[in-house]
Amino acid sequence: MQMRRITSITLMMVFIFVAVTGIEIDIADKKILFLKRLHEWTGYILIILGLIHLFFNRKAMMSYIRTRS
């Protein structure tokens, strides 16, 4: 249970960071290379954390997908 909590909280924080940096890159000068690289790498972390989150919550996800006869 502890790992699910850590993954979910970290996933939420990384999602917010990626969203904010994406908006900042769009609004600000697009030549900010450091911010662009940081945004890309946190995007990769977001994908990995999302997959871990899905793994930990696979039973709930399957119950959402299943149809009742």
Q: How far is CA 49 from CA 14, 15, 38, 63, in A?
A: 9, 10, 16, 21
| pLDDT value for 33 | 77
Q: What is the pLDDT along the chain (69 residues), one digit of tens a residue?
A: 688 788 888 888 898 998 888 888 878 766 677 888 888 888 899 999 889 988 888 887 777 777 665
Whether the full predicted model's pTM is greater than 0.85, yes or no, is: no
Q: Both tokens of residue 25?
A: 């890159």
